[in-house]
Amino acid sequence: MKKISVLNDVMGPVMHGPSSSHTAAPFFIGTIARALLGEEPASATFAFDPMGSFAQVYRQQGSDLGFAAGLMGLPITDETFPRALDLAAEKGIEIRFAVEPLSEADHPNTVEIRMTSRGGRKLSAAAQSIGGGAIQFTRVSQWPAELRGDAHEMLMEVTRTAGPEVLECLKREVKWVGAPERQAKRGLVVLHVKLQSALDPETKSRLRALPGVSQLWTAPPVFFPLRGEPLFASAEEMLALAGSRSLSLGRIALAYESELLGLPEQEVMAEVVRRFEVMRTSVHHGLEGKLPPMQLLHPSARKIFRAEAESRLAVGGIHTRAGARALAVMHINSGGGVVCAAPTAGSAGVIPGVLVSLVEDKGLS
């Protein structure tokens, strides 16, 4: 059963709109692809199956910008995100998007990645956007894989005869989580290890120099690594645990996330507050007069908010203001601005609309 994280799966990601699946996920895929390549990219082709959704919307929903920004190593909220393709060209990175039949397209959001570094290193991989900004790499080079961006990952390709010796060296050199996964094919073996932390350059160089090692790929987490176990797996268990500890549902959720991520509760709360401030900023920005253009609609949240304040609506009150605030966030999202998906970009307005209304209209902390 998948471990559900509040920050990874419910209240996030913080991202440029308009789509968590088609804008944020491509950014995360591009980020991991850059890391797997291991050198500064010179060229990249992102190929989409003609029957998949990427082929239909990659320009309209900013998938091309997400792939390019991730490939360059930009932060996801970088103000230059809308210019990512131009910036890549200025840096001499050739990015191409192709629509062609893919043999691995068993998901509508599948992308095949073909990259070359400035030093001549090559990477072939396949990845999928699986909803709400979540991703998975399903292949690295010739090897089936499962990289979800929630751990420090390392894959080593070695000759079959060198495999045992390399594994013993890994035990001395790195600290891993769980047991290494092993695949074999035509005299080669790939070892897939989840690490407790990123490899330093010196350790990476020593591992690459081991006899029998032909390839080494590493990838950082793009979400919070899951270091612990969930405190509960159902609403019933949550209620029971909250009762036994005399905690509110909010406090037991905080304890859950702290345990799952292996972080102090203060750090988890600080990140929650940071994301709330992203939400509040998107509300305020969406109620301003000058907004980034949307593709199909004209902004209306500001008009509704002002009409409610002037008692010109048949039904007003905090519920109407919350609705207008939620709509304001969606204006920002649709215009490619920065929002906090909750849990997707398509529903990014509801939680901010409610929370900001409670804070600003009811004075809650």
User: How many CA atoms lie within 13 Å of 250's alpha carbon, on the beta-carbon side?
Assistant: 2
Please say if the pLDDT value at position 296 is more than 80: no
Radius of gyration for the alpha carbons in the chain, expressed in angstroms and rounded: 23
Please say if the pLDDT value at position 163 is more than 80: no
Neighbours of 50 (CB within 10 A): 12
Q: 126-130, 157-161, 194-198 — which one is most confidently predicted on average? A: 126-130
19-149 domain in CATH 3.40.50.2000?
no
Cis ω before 13 (30° cut-off from 0): yes
User: In the chain, which residues fall in CATH 3.30.1330.90?
Assistant: 19-149
Q: 293 in the Ramachandran plot: left (φ > 0), alpha (ψ -120 to 50) or beta?
A: beta
Predicted local distance difference test score (pLDDT) of residue 291: 83
Q: Which residue shows structure tokens 């005399």?
A: 246
At residue 310 the predicted structure's pLDDT band, cuts being 50, 70 and 90, is very high
User: 344, 338, 358: which is closest to 250 by C-alpha?
Assistant: 358
Which residues on adjacent β-strands are paired with residue 177? 194
Q: What is the DSSP secondary structure assignment for residue 40, as one 8-state letter?
A: -
At residue 160 the predicted structure's pLDDT band, cuts being 50, 70 and 90, is confident
Which residues on adjacent β-strands are paired with residue 125? 113, 140
User: 221, 34, 12: which is closest to 133 by C-alpha?
Assistant: 12
Please say if the pLDDT value at position 177 is more than 90: no
pLDDT digits (tens, 9 = 90+) for 190-246: 999 999 888 888 888 888 888 889 999 999 999 999 999 999 999 999 999 999 999
Average pLDDT estimate for 53-77: 97
Predicted local distance difference test score (pLDDT) of residue 164: 80
152-220 domain in CATH 3.40.50.1220?
no
Predicted local distance difference test score (pLDDT) of residue 179: 83
Please say if the pLDDT value at position 290 is more than 90: no
Terminal-to-terminal C-alpha distance of the chain: 35
Q: pTM of the prediction? A: 0.95
Judge contact between 180 and 193, C-beta under 8 A: yes
At residue 251 the predicted structure's pLDDT band, cuts being 50, 70 and 90, is very high
User: In the chain, which residues fall in CATH 3.30.70.260?
Assistant: 152-220
Predicted local distance difference test score (pLDDT) of residue 293: 79
DSSP H or E segment with residue 313: none
What whole-number distance in Å separates Cα of residue 31 and Cα of residue 75?
9
User: 267, 353, 328, 347: which is closest to 12 by C-alpha?
Assistant: 347
**SS3 state at 62:** coil
Which residues on adjacent β-strands are paired with residue 127? 111, 137
Predicted local distance difference test score (pLDDT) of residue 178: 81
Judge contact between 38 and 87, C-beta under 8 A: no
Please say if the pLDDT value at position 257 is more than 80: yes
Please say if the pLDDT value at position 358 is more than 80: yes
* Residue 139 phi, psi dihedral angles, 5° rounding: -155, 140
Mean pLDDT of all residues belonging to the chain:
94
**Of 152-156, 174-178, 235-239, 244-248, the least confident:** 174-178
How many residues in total does the chain contain?
Answer: 365
Predicted local distance difference test score (pLDDT) of residue 17: 93
Please say if the pLDDT value at position 292 is more than 90: no
The whole-angstrom distance between residue 81's C-alpha and the CA centroid of its chain comes to 15
